[in-house]
Amino acid sequence: MNAPTRTDLARGTGVDVDRIRADFPILARPTSAGKRLVFLDTAASAQKPRQVIEAEARVYETEYANIHRGVYELSQKATAAYDKARSKVRALLNAASDREIVFVRNGTEAINLVAASWGRKNLKEGDQVILSEMEHHANIVPWQMLRDAIGIELVVIPITDTGELAWEAYEQAFTARTRLVAMTHVSNALGTIVPIREVTRVAHEHGVPVLVDGCQAVPHMPVDVQEIDADFYVFSGHKIYGPTGVGALYARESILKDMPPYQGGGDMIASVTFARTTYADIPQRFEAGTPNIAGTIALGAAIDYVTGLDRQALLRHELALRDYATERLSEINAVRIYGTAPEKAGVISFTIEGVHPHDVGTILDFEGIAVRAGHHCTQPVMDRFGIPATTRASFGIYNDFDDVDDLIRGIARVQEIFA
Ligand code: PLP
């Protein structure tokens, strides 16, 4: 039997990439050097389908007004659409209730909200928060700020040479002072898929709640917060093909209802006098001020878009791209891949011997290939592997096998230049 061709591989995943690509106007635009755009930086931010772009424009053209305030039709329409977006996020995550979904600017703000609100209320000097060595800075710095403010301790679980959570170290990290586990679902630097259901199981055996950073998971795989048994789950809209400036925090209702507000202002109060303010119910209590109304409604459109596709097939497709790229990259002697966990998303971090990752990124850019070069906001991961940076190719639903071939050709060009 002949070896499967690239077309067979693409067909095998059951995803019509050409149809998907046609929804993304930016992919049809050549780069300024006249090259086909090969976009391999979806882990940083995803491109947007026409359906999302049009949904945001439609809000401003047809139903825009401030929400929760007006008695007039436009405001009521905008409010209804905004509230509907909350239900879409609830359904996306399979949360039990819309009351458990708080809109924020992005995943970073969601973690800061939990640290500032839940953390300041529930943690005291000497209490421990468990993190992993592969966290994004967004899931490190807010906890360090809390450490500096109130004296909590951060317990960092190491990662193995393959980029997996050191499981025994995790199981043994719990003490009588452990109060929270804050951990990524999928590593943005290494692609590792953390066995998050097991992480919550172990934490809950110790009576410890878990915050899951789902920024790299929600865009690429079905997520069920009830099945995962997460206490907090955060993600950013712009990584799931939605607009920038909107993200969501899921928090278990029993926990959220006891959390104090994060920011004060309009829309989060029940009543205000100079003597005393009482706060609104959840989730409004955490949404002070005018939110990103049009962006949130367009996030709803992005959720409709991805859930309208076969998400299992999309995941299969991204994993097939991962496997094909890994195989092709492994054929190049000078390439070293960081992050080789068996459970891994469509993220490939690599270095080319003798070439700085920034130079790799710049030369690839001349070829029309957009990759990320740097520490990926995970400096501890770089330190773990003793490198300053990597080049990272990450896949989205619009990537195809040609993109991988172009990447490989681009790397050959890098090697030619540096030979
Ligand atoms: N967590 C992870 C794992 C990420 O990959 C990112 C962004 O790259 C973030 C958090 C922060 O996301 P944002 O910048 O949208 O807040």
Which is the closest atom of ligand 1 to the Cα of 185?
3
- With the most atoms of ligand 1 within 8 angstroms of its CB, the residue from 108, 109, 211, 246 to mutate is 108
> Of 35-44, 63-72, 82-91, 126-135, which range is least confident?
63-72
| Confidence band, pLDDT 50/70/90 cuts, at residue 68 | confident
Q: Residue 1: what pLDDT?
A: 44
Q: Check 9, 280, 334, 377 and give the catalytic one.
A: 377
Q: Give yes or no for residue 3 having a pLDDT over 80.
A: no
Task: Collect all residues with Cβ–Cβ distance below 8 Å to 417 and sequence separation of at least 6.
Answer: 363
Q: How far is CA 92 from CA 2, 31, 219, 374, in A?
A: 41, 34, 10, 31
Give distance in angstroms: CA of 374 to centre of ligand 1.
15
Q: Which residue segments constitute the domains of the chain, with CATH numbers given?
A: 17-46+310-417 (3.90.1150.10), 53-307 (3.40.640.10)
- With the most atoms of ligand 1 within 8 angstroms of its CB, the residue from 114, 131, 136 to mutate is 136
Active site residue 215: no
The dihedral through the CA atoms of 213, 219, 220, 226 has a sign that is: positive
| Residue 408 CB burial class (10 angstroms; 0-12, 13-18, ≥19) | middle
Give distance in angstroms: CA of 136 to centre of ligand 1.
7
pTM, full prediction? 0.97
Q: What is the DSSP string of 246-261?
A: -EEEEE-HHHHTTPPP
What residues flank ligand 1, with Cβ below 6 Å?
Answer: 44, 106-108, 136, 138-139, 184, 188, 213, 215-216, 236, 377
**Ligand 1, atom 6: nearest CA belongs to which residue?**
215
Strands (E), 242-346: 247-251, 269-272, 277-279, 335-338
217-237 pLDDT per residue, tens: 999 999 999 999 999 999 999
Calculate what percentage of the chain has a pLDDT beyond 90: 95
